[in-house]
Amino acid sequence: MHRYFIIPISVFFIIIILFVSYFQFYDDEWKYFFKPEKKIIPEYCHDSSTDLKKTILNLDQDQKANRNFIDDQDFDKNIVHLVYFVPCDQFSRDYDINNKIENIITNINTWFFKKSNKQKIKFDNYNRQLDITFIRVNKTLNWFNTFNSRQNSSDDNSSRIEKIILTNKNIFNNFETKKFIVFFEGWEKRKSFFHTTCGRARFNGKVAVIYTNSDLKNKETCADIINSNIDELGNEEQSVLHELLHLLGFPKSCSKNIVADNIFHVNDSKDDILFKFSGGKYLDFNNDDYYNHSIDNCPDLKDSKYLTYN
């Protein structure tokens, strides 16, 4: 076959493959050449409502033993509160009461204690148990995934979750001194062919979002595998701690090894927890960026109000 025929035909098929791949992996609403069976949306879902103060639902199906719908009494300030957050059309996998979240947090603090100067992160506790608030909202997963962050960074998935938490701050104690980790029962709208986003946090902000699921059915979710090895964190624990450290405002711009075009990450070791894709071995590799460093006039994570030696 003549090469002048092969070249345009090859280019044509490459374009078709890229086109189909784009809609399969980027546009969540279109799947190849057929539409999936239409999902039945519960009647208590109200995506059209704009009143975020009336977003939180209280359903009989969610009433389960040991579940908290409110923030229990606090015995300290400057603590990290945990939320299990479920859209109205999503099935609750009960991560707040089946020890899933508790195991993640326990492993993080065990690792952090070993890697730091014997410090731990101050997570919200009540009666020696993690205080985890369950929230189901009247918004569907599609409502949260209307935009990805490249399409609308001020109204994407994590921003909408953050707005609901901030709007309903009255259900939390000592809101102004707390940071929040929200375990979201769902995923972020895909913006890349190559990886699934497992978490987001506004730098030095109030709310970090951890995605517990994936939009690809044949791919491991963001919260499935727990690594109990105290020397190296598992993937999901890396995601939680990575976003939490961003929430606490690290690394600072005065750090030595920050990425030139992205000052929110360090680049001296891919195994550092604040490397771009999260590592699981080091809390500040060589201690020259954000923890126990010796950089003049540069804040140090070890001095954070959200850490304790107790």
- Which one of 206, 229, 248 terminates a domain? 248
Q: How many CB atoms lie within 10 A of CB 261?
A: 5
Same structural domain, 107 and 190: yes
Q: Tokens 């550092």 sit at which residue? A: 272
Q: Do 28 and 114 lie in a common domain? A: no
- Nearest of 201, 191, 214 to residue 165 by alpha carbon: 201
Position 200 in a domain:
yes
Look over the chain and give the mean of its residue pLDDT values, rounded to a whole number: 86
Q: Render pLDDT for 136-173 as a digit per residue (tens, 0 to 9).
A: 999 999 999 998 777 777 888 899 999 999 999 999 99
The pLDDT tens digits for 8-67 are: 777 777 777 766 565 554 454 444 344 455 678 999 999 999 999 999 999 999 999 999
Total domains in the fold of the chain: 2
Do 1 and 51 lie in one domain? The reply is no
> Per-residue pLDDT averaged across 264-281, rounded?
93
Q: Determine the Cα angle at 96 with ends 40 and 215, to 5°.
A: 45
How many Cβ atoms are within 10 Å of 186's Cβ, its own excluded?
23
Residues 17 and 47 in one domain: no
Rounded-to-integer distance, Cα 256 and Cα 253, Å: 8
189-235 residue pLDDT tens: 876 655 667 889 999 999 999 999 866 544 445 655 555 556 789 88
User: What's this model's pTM, rounded to 2 decimal places?
Assistant: 0.85
Tell whether omega for the bond before 251 is within 30 degrees of 0, i.e. cis: yes
CA distance 290 to 267: 12
**Domain residue limits at 8:** 1-38
Residue 292 pLDDT grade (very low, low, confident, very high; cuts 50, 70, 90): very high
